[in-house]
């Protein structure tokens, strides 16, 4: 089930230490001006390198195999991939005996009967989100004037992200964080009841990103403590602007034209340098595991652009869907 | 987009004050013993009647139109519906002029160009979740020994739910709440990377329920403040049991055999008896709206069984999918 | 897998002798004027009554349960059903012992482990196509100015349909026929490569109609004997009109604006009054079967409107899909 | 809409003269032994080289980018591609002025507003079927003991295929043909009513192959001239074997365990060396077109393995679907 979408359809592929990772984007309208360079800014935001991120450095340059001609999308599927280069696979052999707590080692073994490519966590690696970012760049073009902006607003429980990362690096541990994403200038009317509400589609995509533990829209979990009279967002003009935005720009699953706002909780990466006591499936007793290899202290640092891409993919698909079913009717004044 | 599912496919229909509401359940295996009475316990949990719920009382009895014969499912689509009876539609005419803040009045108008059936909120009504509960009953049978249990753990910010509701009723306002859902005895290996992770499918369904503002799995948003060394769940035996359950029973999108645990934030219903200052789209100036009609003070009281059903539908579909792609291979020892 | 479609999505349900048969139509744009009476002309064409059709007479009146309000489609799912009334179920008990040759008795038993509702052939009955005709009526409205016309052009190998039927009735046997369907005024540009070619979508739907054995577009099977120089359709003007139509209005899976033309082969109904020698699964030896009950001598007489509906459903879905992905771009001159 | 399938899902991509063509195969069970060499025999059958096929010679070697590790499928998506090498693109520039009759030049222009990659017919090229053959090889493994065999049984209306091709080459024209495909040892019970009948799924895939004009199962179009008493296939034993096979191994859309038999009509390739009189969209008058370039005199020579692959893909997907919904129930004796 590595594909998603109704009209803007994406199919993701690849393993962390395999030959390549990539994505097929189908349903992209023809005539969108696009160059390989256009993918670089967002891909750079996802790359490692800053303090708190892994020492694995991949060039990550996109190769466009199909769907682009003469500088424009053609309307046929765009396949974009990048070859894996900087891989050290020897680190992963022990995890069959002692599956890493918090990691997919165990569930992957159960599901794929031992045939999964476990090198670098294979298809479960955060590396696979490269394709989401690529699709996000295309989706943002379809979304037209809508603006997408996600950023890390806290890490390890602290708004002082830099300090929290520094402390975690020193302690050889990993930390999580909270990402906030805001979509501006989104047209009203996007989202399809009952099952393809804007929140449903965004959350479906966001929970495919490794390490996500929660999502909330607008006032989110705090709305559970509010009164209706304080939670409701009063309208202030004919265009549907509201004075507050507890709804996160969505009523009844459909955008109301105000900003879409949501927050995503990222857990700390399971690979930590701290020793852990866990079951040894080989010796059949508790054992001590210390994970070596190159890992992210704060994986949340690299995820904002992925969350942003998920939002863009959702918005693009719901724009095309709405246009297909509803738009012409609105245009002819129905 | 009123259908959902890969093999266990549901299609929901109906409006609050229309002729009927219902659901088509396709992909249900043949040979499951089922009677109309089997739907009643869960449907009763969703009904109004208790303090804090609306005075609209619907018999809600399910009529099974197809897919059941001789006391067993046949393998062809089950269509189950109930006729709407206790409807008072005069209350909804003013909401075109003054769309209720926090409600789908405005977005529905934009999307459906005024053609939506607005009586009782039409297809946007919480009433439509009746079909989810019906499908949930069938899904629970497919899920075999798995147990599903959701309950309201707080309302209006208070663990004293009864007290919070009493206070809100007195103040003529509405309140939200938090629901926790636990799935026990779920087999390891359910969930399909990349996009049909267990969290993706559950959250997709849960966000189709009106009034949901957030969802978190396991330690959820609090995991963003944790260290990897404290968040990771150590394994304690060969079956994959863990001593903690910060992952909510899911690693890499796939169940690990521990309980699936998630919490859902429910906002207060937008219909509150408190007067609200908002835009009047007819007079083109701010105005005062006081919502009349019969409404739920604490809609969260009725939603636990709906959340439980969403979880069951997700688990059932992922069981069938896993069986289709993976099961036989595991059986033959691959 | 009783649902079909990308944006115009239909879900069919019911059994021949169950409570009801029907269809859910999702993705219908709002604002289409429609009344229950609008379904009657096409439903009448599908009804029995004429010479050569079964003596089972169902009123077949459509009840619209949802999705219509104030005389217009609302944009939410339309559920339309009809109750079964004239059913005599005693006739079907013997077919477990001696499955009818050419019928689904045997395959249904294998697939559904004996739980299928076999009365009146249950979900395998041609009666289930009632829902296709209902969806076809709605689809024709979406298709706008396009005209759909299917008719029986031969029966039992003879262009003298009436004579062929009369002869078959006399001989107590069943006969097949060939239906030709023409779609006029269809816009150029419909159909989505690679897999949703216009031919793919039409044939997918047509082969869901019981008794269909073949389909061919334009010059069809005879094109296999033609030269390219005689098969190619020369263009004659800027609008893409062609002097011949061997392509049946479709090039590369996409409509070229000329008439879509296809023919469908209908086999003789398996229920014949002539005695047949076949295996008795109970006595474990060859036996003689003489099928009683009320059946169609020439089921092909009733299928043209169903084929027409299949074409309309395909065209409607591909119109909405094309509009979603391509239309706005064409409008803005891309 | 370049993807297809319920559990065994394929996404096809590429253009004739672009960088590469390929396919993503998702839903492939883990643990299937496979090597790059396994794809070569079927790919060779699709290649040009024999008399009557184009002089364009591509190495067509498959590169497996993902989903295979240690000689076995991993359960994650398999992406397989081949680079285009032997391309001469100068030939295609004139077809904007004079779209080739019978070709997608015109419809592609309408649909993609001129942005389609027209070199070598781009995404409309028969070259894109390379991916179908690749997916077919994998599908045949999933289909287990089932055997797939398609062959050209006539060309240009003649059973003397070699003679017909020789004559057409001499006359510088193109010819069509008829392909027959037989699937042996297919289990009974495959196919999902109502819309995913075995015929529906096969025909959907077959009509995505360029140049297909018709398909018929079993006795096909000739069944329209038969009586029920002669068309019905009598059972001859408990396993469902029948003495005739007019049904082509399918009753009610579900396999009955006898051979699946179907025939496919292939039109002559539109590119013919014979001069054609057709509309010049530039000069706005009738003109003469003589197509240069390298083309297939009898494209039908290369399509049998593609048709075979389509059948295998359909069977594989329906095996996985049936296993997901029905198999366990049959196993536990329901």
**Which pLDDT tens digit goes with each residue over C74-91?**
999 999 999 998 777 666
| The predicted structure's pLDDT at residue A334 | 40
Residue of B228, B268, B276, B283 to mutate for A, most A C-beta atoms under 10 A: B228
Q: Which of A20, A66, A112 sits opposite D66 (nearest CB)?
A: A20
| Chain-chain contact of B66 with C15 (C-beta, under 8 angstroms) | yes
User: How do residues D239-249 score in pLDDT, each as one tens digit?
Assistant: 999 999 999 99
Weakest-pLDDT range from A322-331, B192-201, D74-83: A322-331
Higher pLDDT, B55 or A255: A255
Q: How far is CA B96 from CA A275, B99, B284, C32, C51, in A?
A: 62, 6, 13, 21, 55
| The predicted structure's pLDDT at residue C318 | 97
pLDDT above 70 coverage of chain A, percent: 97
User: How do residues B91-150 score in pLDDT, each as one tens digit?
Assistant: 677 788 999 999 999 999 999 988 999 888 899 889 999 999 999 999 999 999 999 999
Closest CA to D295 of D260, D268, D269: D269
Q: The pTM is what?
A: 0.97
Higher pLDDT, C92 or C176: C176
A23: distance to nearest CA of chain B, Å?
A: 12
Higher pLDDT, B328 or B305: B305
User: How do residues C103-137 score in pLDDT, each as one tens digit?
Assistant: 999 999 999 988 999 888 899 889 999 999 999 99
B6: distance to nearest CA of chain C, Å?
A: 9
User: How do residues D50-72 score in pLDDT, each as one tens digit?
Assistant: 778 877 777 889 999 999 999 99
B123: distance to nearest CA of chain C, Å?
A: 7
| Chain-chain contact of C79 with B12 (C-beta, under 8 angstroms) | no
CB D5 within 8 A of CB D27: yes
pLDDT above 90 coverage of chain B, percent: 82
Mean pLDDT of chain C: 93
- Predicted confidence (pLDDT) at residue C332 exceeds the cutoff of 50: no
| Chain-chain contact of B247 with A102 (C-beta, under 8 angstroms) | yes
Beta bridge partners of A265: A178, A214
User: How do residues A54-105 score in pLDDT, each as one tens digit?
Assistant: 777 778 899 999 999 999 999 999 999 999 987 777 667 778 899 999 999 9
Q: How confident is the model at residue B330 (pLDDT cuts 50, 70, 90)?
A: low
Contacting subunits of D (3+ beta carbon pairs below 8 A): A, B, C
- Predicted confidence (pLDDT) at residue D334 exceeds the cutoff of 50: no
| Chain-chain contact of B15 with C76 (C-beta, under 8 angstroms) | yes
C191: distance to nearest CA of chain A, Å?
A: 12
| The predicted structure's pLDDT at residue D332 | 46
Collapse the DSSP code of D218 into the 3-class scheme (helix H, G, I; strand E, B; otherwise coil) and give the result: coil
Collapse the DSSP code of B172 into the 3-class scheme (helix H, G, I; strand E, B; otherwise coil) and give the result: coil
Weakest-pLDDT range from A295-299, B166-170, C135-139, C208-212: A295-299
Higher pLDDT, B121 or C203: C203
User: How do residues A127-150 score in pLDDT, each as one tens digit?
Assistant: 999 999 999 999 999 999 999 999
The most confident of A280-294, B42-56, B220-234, by mean pLDDT = B220-234
Closest CA to C317 of C232, C161, C197: C197
Which residues in chain B are contacts of C13 at CB distance < 8 A?
24, 26, 65-67, 76-79
Q: Which of A19, A73, A75 sits opposite D65 (nearest CB)?
A: A19
Average pLDDT over residues B238-262: 97
| Chain-chain contact of B20 with C77 (C-beta, under 8 angstroms) | no
Beta bridge partners of A260: A183
Query: What is the sign of the dihedral through the CA atoms of C114, C115, C118 and C123?
Result: negative
| The predicted structure's pLDDT at residue C334 | 41
Closest CA to A195 of B128, B193, B113, B149: B128
User: How do residues B202-245 score in pLDDT, each as one tens digit?
Assistant: 999 999 999 999 999 999 999 999 999 999 999 999 999 999 99
User: How do residues D148-194 score in pLDDT, each as one tens digit?
Assistant: 999 999 999 999 999 999 999 999 999 999 999 999 999 999 999 99
Q: Between C and D, how many residue pairs show a Cβ–Cβ distance under 8 A?
A: 383
Token pair 């095309």: residue: A320
CA distance D317 to D298: 31
CATH of A3-331 given 3.40.50.150, 3.60.150.10, 3.30.1300.10, 3.40.50.1100: 3.60.150.10
| The predicted structure's pLDDT at residue A91 | 64
Question: DSSP class of residue A63?
Answer: E
Q: How confident is the model at residue B333 (pLDDT cuts 50, 70, 90)?
A: very low
Collapse the DSSP code of B260 into the 3-class scheme (helix H, G, I; strand E, B; otherwise coil) and give the result: strand
- Predicted confidence (pLDDT) at residue B329 exceeds the cutoff of 60: no
The torsion angle over the Cα atoms of residues C64, C68, C74 and C78, rounded to 10 degrees, is 10
A182: distance to nearest CA of chain D, Å?
A: 30
- Predicted confidence (pLDDT) at residue C1 exceeds the cutoff of 60: yes
Q: How confident is the model at residue C254 (pLDDT cuts 50, 70, 90)?
A: very high
| The predicted structure's pLDDT at residue B331 | 53
Average pLDDT over residues D290-302: 87
Question: What is the phi-psi region of residue C264: left when phi exceeds 0, alpha when psi lies from -120 to 50, beta otherwise?
Answer: beta
* Pairing mode, strands A9-14 and A20-26: antiparallel
Evaluate whether ipTM surpasses 0.90. yes
| Chain-chain contact of D195 with C12 (C-beta, under 8 angstroms) | yes
Type and span of the H or E element at A228: helix A228-231
| The predicted structure's pLDDT at residue C329 | 57
């Amino acid at each position: 089930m590595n594909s998603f979408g109704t009209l803007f359809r994406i199919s993701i592929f690849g393993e962390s230490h395999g030959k390549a990772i990539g994505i097929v984007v189908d349903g992209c309208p023809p005539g969108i001006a696009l160059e390989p360079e256009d993918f670089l800014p967002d891909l750079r935001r996802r790359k490692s390198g800053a303090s708190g991120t892994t020492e694995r450095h991949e060039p990550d340059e996109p190769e466009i195999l199909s769907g682009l001609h003469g500088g424009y999308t053609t309307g046929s599927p765009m396949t974009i991939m990048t070859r894996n280069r900087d891989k050290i696979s020897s680190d992963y052999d022990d995890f069959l005996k002692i599956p890493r707590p918090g990691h997919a080692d165990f569930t992957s073994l159960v599901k794929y009967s031992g045939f999964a490519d476990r090198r670098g966590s294979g298809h479960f690696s955060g590396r696979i989100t490269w394709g989401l970012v690529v699709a996000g760049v295309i989706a943002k073009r379809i979304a037209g004037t809508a603006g997408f902006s996600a950023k890390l607003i806290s890490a390890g429980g602290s708004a002082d992200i830099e300090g929290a990362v520094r402390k975690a690096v020193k302690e050889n541990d990993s930390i999580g964080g909270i990402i906030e994403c805001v979509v501006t200038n989104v047209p009203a009317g996007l989202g399809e009841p009952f099952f393809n509400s804007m929140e449903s589609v965004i959350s479906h995509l966001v929970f495919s990103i490794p390490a996500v533990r929660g999502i909330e829209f607008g006032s989110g979990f705090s709305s559970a403590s509010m009164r209706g009279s304080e939670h409701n967002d009063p309208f202030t003009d004919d265009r549907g602007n509201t004075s507050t935005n507890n709804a996160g720009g969505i009523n009844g699953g459909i955008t109301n034209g105000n900003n879409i706002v949501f927050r995503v909780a990222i857990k700390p990466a399971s690979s930590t340098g701290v020793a852990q006591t866990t079951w040894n499936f080989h010796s059949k007793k508790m054992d001590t595991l210390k994970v070596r290899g190159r890992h992210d202290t704060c994986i949340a640092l690299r995820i904002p652009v992925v969350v942003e891409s998920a939002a863009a993919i959702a918005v693009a698909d719901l724009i095309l869907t709405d246009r297909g079913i509803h738009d012409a009717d609105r245009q002819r004044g129905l």
